């Protein structure tokens, strides 16, 4: 079972738009970079909360003719994002769906991209979430996971704590995160080492976390 956010949707939305803004920008930019040379298809944002990421992507010209699904186990979070989607006239482009990252409600090979930010650390079965992400990707599809590292530098962690405090959020629970080496071990255990890369920037705000990039091979 995916753990639900401990704060109401409106509070989370304020937190995401203020404290998480730099990481949202990095995440969206990375998705955009990866999708630039892909044919339009379907993209799921796993653990979407109030659908901040799908809304940003849908407004980007790179994603003309793409379709988006914001997936979250917590329907109250999805309901928090629906007014924004309606206000922007994106109901035909973005679908919000209740679902579990560990048992994705999509057919095998049905999605061009599957992305997830700050969700992996919540999941009891992280390994299953990675194999599920791979399963739903079409050949040539891309999976992208960004999450926070447990082994983040103390200075960067303190900066993040201050950003959270500025919008009334308590310090993050670092102990529930995974280290960079643990992320690499998860990918290997999932049998995805040959088609994946696990990296983390050495400097900047991106160094707070790591990236798992999965590229599903095309048929031989």
pLDDT at 111 over 90: yes
The model's confidence at residue 2, banded by pLDDT at 50, 70 and 90, is: very low
Q: Which residue has the higher pLDDT, 170 or 125?
A: 125
Task: Kindly report the number of other CB atoms within 10 A of residue 73's CB atom.
Answer: 19
Element at 197 (helix H, strand E): strand 196-199
Q: Give the per-residue pLDDT at 4.
A: 46
Helix axes 21-35, 9-18, angle to 10 degrees: 80
Contacts of 58 (CB under 8 A, 6+ apart): 66, 68, 88, 90, 93, 94
User: What DSSP line would sit under 3-18, residue for residue?
Assistant: PPPSS-HHHHHHHHHH
> What structural domains and CATH numbers belong to the chain?
9-215 (3.40.50.150)
Q: What span, in angstroms and rounded, lies between the C-alpha atoms of 216 and 219?
A: 9
């Amino acid at each position: 079972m995916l753990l639900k956010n401990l704060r109401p949707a409106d509070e989370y939305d304020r937190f995401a738009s203020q404290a998480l803004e730099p990481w949202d920008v990095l995440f969206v930019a990375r998705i955009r970079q990866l999708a630039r040379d892909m044919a339009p298809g379907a993209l799921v944002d796993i653990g979407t909360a109030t659908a901040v990421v799908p809304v940003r992507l849908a407004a980007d010209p790179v994603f003309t003719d793409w379709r988006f699904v914001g997936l979250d186990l917590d329907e109250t979070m999805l309901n928090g994002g629906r007014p924004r989607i309606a206000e922007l006239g994106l109901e035909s482009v973005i679908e919000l769906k209740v679902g579990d990252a560990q048992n994705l409600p999509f057919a095998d090979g049905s999605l061009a991209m599957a992305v997830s930010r700050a969700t992996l650390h919540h999941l009891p079965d992280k390994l299953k979430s990675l194999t599920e992400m791979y399963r739903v990707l079409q050949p040539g599809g891309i999976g992208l996971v960004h999450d926070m590292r447990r082994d983040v530098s103390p200075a960067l962690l303190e900066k993040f704590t201050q950003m959270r405090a500025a919008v009334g959020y308590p310090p993050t629970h670092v102990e529930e995160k995974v280290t960079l080496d643990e992320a690499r071990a998860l990918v290997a255990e999932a049998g995805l080492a040959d088609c994946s890369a696990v990296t983390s920037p050495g400097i900047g705000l991106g160094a707070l976390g790591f990236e798992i990039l999965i590229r599903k091979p095309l048929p031989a």
